[in-house]
Each structure stands twice: as structure tokens, then as C-alpha cells.
């Protein structure tokens, strides 16, 4: 697993996803970063200002994503004058284990905040003060049929947003310093 605070080893052109995605329940966040009110560059339409602040005692937890098995897509939606974006995040988590199945059950009817770090270093935030990301329709967990089949889950999240949101705030305090391996959803 890659530490979220570790600098990426890419040359800035790679856009595959990190193998560890921090996530939390939206209600555990007390303050969200926002887009700048004055927009002087294209980046100002996507790069958030400020930090995520957690409710006291709460933090983000990691979910593991197999190497080269995660993807973040943005699509436009709506009609002229009311256009927005939809973020679609899909990851594959290996291992058909109770912790993975429990994670899926725990977020099925919850709004979550996910920080998707791309290998180029950009961190895309899915979720905001108004709405969190929701688990997608095409979640599938499987034990596999043959011994050589993959076993695990393809988990997707969707998030309706006015624009892509790139988080540049602090990360270390969001993750915490837990040494309890049960805090992570890993294979």
C-alpha cells in the first residue's frame, strides 16, 4: 500500500490512481474547502481553497485499490444554463473478506467524502458540504468461480458537482496516526 502523504514518483504525466483512497462519512466533517470566489485562471474553477476540518475525534480511513484498477471520470450533465459535472470513481478491491463486505454495507445509504489521489499528485475531492459521494449502481462483489478468478469487489461512487474539485489542503491530520490495522480496508 502507498502512504497517502508520500510524494508520487511520477513525472507529472501519469494519471493512474494511488492504491490507497482516504474516505469518511460526510457528517464527520465540520468544515469543507471551497472554490475561490474570484476566478482569475482556469485552475480557480477547480482548485479548492482551505482545509477539510474533521469533527473532534473523527478522521478519514483508507480503502485499498488494486494497482491499475481504479479510475476517476468526469462527465457533463444537464442542459444549457444548468450544466454540471458528474464524478464517477470506480475501484477494484481484492479479497472477498468480511471487512470489505462490511465497508460496502456501511456506505450503501451514506454520503461519503473521498480523496482520490492520482499518481500525478493531484487529489480530487468527491463530496462537499451540500452533498457527498454516493455508492454507485454497479457495485459487484464476487468470490470468483475458479481458483484463478479474481475475488473481491468492484466498488463505484458517483458525485454530482458543479465542477471538478482538486484538494490542496492538509492531509496528515485527516488520516490520523492510528496503528490499528482494523482501521484500514485492505486485502
Asked if residue 40 belongs to a domain, the reply is yes
pLDDT for the residue 77: 95
**β-pair partners for 24:** 113
- Written as one string, the DSSP assignment of 142-172 is E--SSTTS--EEEEEEEEEESS--EE-S--H
pLDDT for the residue 86: 97
Question: What is the number of domains present in the chain?
Answer: 1
Asked if residue 149 belongs to a domain, the reply is yes
User: Does residue 31 contact residue 50 with C-beta atoms inside 8 Å?
Assistant: yes
pLDDT for the residue 20: 82
Asked if residue 177 belongs to a domain, the reply is no
Q: Residue 51 CB: number of other CB atoms within 10 A? A: 16
Q: pTM here? A: 0.84
Torsion of CA 141, 181, 135, 44, to 10 degrees: -140
Asked if residue 26 belongs to a domain, the reply is yes
What is the extent of the structural domain holding 43?
20-172
Asked if residue 9 belongs to a domain, the reply is no
What are the pLDDT tens digits along the chain (187 aa)? 222 223 334 344 455 777 888 999 999 999 999 999 999 999 999 999 999 999 998 989 888 888 889 999 999 999 999 999 999 999 999 998 998 999 999 999 999 999 999 988 899 999 999 999 999 998 999 999 999 998 999 999 999 999 999 999 988 778 764 444 445 665 5
Asked if residue 5 belongs to a domain, the reply is no
Asked if residue 28 belongs to a domain, the reply is yes
Asked if residue 52 belongs to a domain, the reply is yes
User: Does residue 144 contact residue 150 with C-beta atoms inside 8 Å?
Assistant: yes
152 is written with which cell numbers? 473481491
Dihedrals phi, psi of 6, to nearest 5 degrees: -75, 140
Amino acid at each position: 500500500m502507498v502512504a497517502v502523504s508520500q510524494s508520487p514518483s511520477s513525472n507529472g504525466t501519469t494519471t493512474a490512481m494511488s492504491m490507497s483512497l482516504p474516505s469518511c462519512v460526510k457528517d464527520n466533517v465540520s468544515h469543507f474547502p471551497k472554490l475561490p470566489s474570484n476566478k482569475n485562471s482556469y485552475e480557480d474553477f477547480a482548485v479548492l481553497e482551505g482545509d477539510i476540518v474533521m469533527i473532534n475525534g473523527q478522521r478519514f480511513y483508507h480503502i485499498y485499490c488494486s494497482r491499475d484498477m481504479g479510475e476517476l471520470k468526469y462527465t457533463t450533465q444537464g442542459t444549457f444554463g444548468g450544466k454540471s459535472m458528474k464524478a464517477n470513481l470506480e475501484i477494484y478491491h481484492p479479497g472477498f473478506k468480511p471487512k470489505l463486505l462490511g465497508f460496502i454495507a456501511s456506505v450503501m445509504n451514506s454520503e461519503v467524502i473521498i480523496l482520490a489521489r492520482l499518481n500525478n499528485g493531484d487529489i480530487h475531492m468527491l463530496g462537499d458540504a451540500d452533498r457527498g459521494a454516493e455508492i454507485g449502481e454497479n457495485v459487484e462483489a464476487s468470490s470468483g468461480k475458479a481458483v484463478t478468478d479474481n475475488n473481491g469487489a468492484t466498488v463505484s461512487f458517483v458525485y454530482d458537482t458543479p465542477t471538478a474539485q482538486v484538494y490542496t489542503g492538509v492531509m496528515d491530520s485527516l488520516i490520523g496516526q492510528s496503528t490499528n490495522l482494523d482501521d484500514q480496508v485492505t486485502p
